[in-house]
Amino acid sequence: MEKLIITAAICGAEVTKEHNPNVPYTIEECVREAGLAYEAGASIIHLHVRTDDGTPTQDKNRFKMVMDAIHAKYPDVIIQPSTGGAVGMTNDERLQPTELNPEMATLDCGTLNFGGDEIFENTENTIKYFGERMIERGIKPELEVFDKSMIDMALRLNKKGFIKSPMHFDFVMGVNGGISGTLRDFVFLRESIPADATYTVAGVGRFEFPLATAAIIDGGHVRVGFEDNTMISRGIVAESNGQLVEKVVRMAKELGREIATPAEAREILGLKRK
């Protein structure tokens, strides 16, 4: 079985210091949280950026400052910027971090009702546009899927040449408007991807660690972090992203999975370091 790749989603675009005071906003805070996650065993840092007051931004200059600062201290870590941005942003606004030519970036594969009047819009043409950009720049897309239909969209666009094989999926489970975080639905998604594809599971809230366990046993990979869950256990706020990663490492060791280094993660995912 392949070694386990752990991704740390250190801040997201929605979670705030009101949810957990350790959620990073500033460059220094992002470096701290990325470092704690990396030192605990994360190979990939899934990155959103904020202004110092916590406002989400896709500004490429802010991404560059944060990415450069992380790589200055942790040069081998894989940084995976988000192109999800925040509800209401334009496609080109969301795509700004791809101008920095990262090894990986996220590509959301469908539209989602986040709740209330918030709609996270990803039309078929948007997905094609993002896919073409990533192919042009040699960026490996992590295909963010919140439901089975989004896997179907990715498979269809793969056949049309907008997404390259082998594909790497991120099953985001337990989000309002998306698929639930049950083991039944994990198996449904897992059995819906190609045999040569890899996947990571991001369980939201209380689903984080049960789904991490399922992925570890199945041979998949795991995402944890403040973007998805700010608690280390029920009612107990996590001290850092590193503490969440440490818990996954302990679980993996109990279940017989070794942890991948960034170099090993690159080999598993077919990344070419730039």
Residue 18, sorted as left (phi over 0), alpha (psi -120 to 50) or beta, turns out to be alpha
Domain boundaries, the chain: 6-269
CATH code 1.10.240.10 for 6-269: no
Q: Could you tell me if 83 and 106 are in contact, meaning their C-beta atoms sit under 8 angstroms apart?
A: yes
Report whether 166 contacts 140 (CB < 8 A): no
Mean pLDDT of 152-168: 98
Residue 91 Rama label (left phi>0; alpha psi -120 to 50; beta): alpha
Give the chain's end-to-end CA distance (angstroms, integer). Answer: 28
Average pLDDT of the chain is 96
Contact of 224 with 230, CB cutoff 8 Å? no
Tokens of 54: 């916590």
pLDDT band (50, 70, 90) for residue 118: confident
d(CA 192, CA 190): 5
What is the arithmetic mean of pLDDT over 91-99? Answer: 97
Name the token pair of 190.
């897992």
Would the pLDDT of 273 be above 80? Answer: no
Q: What is the pLDDT of residues 28-57, one digit of tens each?
A: 999 999 999 999 999 999 999 999 999 999
Question: d(Cα 272, Cα 209) in Å, to the nearest integer?
Answer: 30
Which pTM does this prediction carry?
0.97
φ and ψ of 57, to 5 deg: -145, 150
Question: Above 80 in pLDDT, residue 61?
Answer: yes
* Chain-centroid distance, C-alpha 158: 20
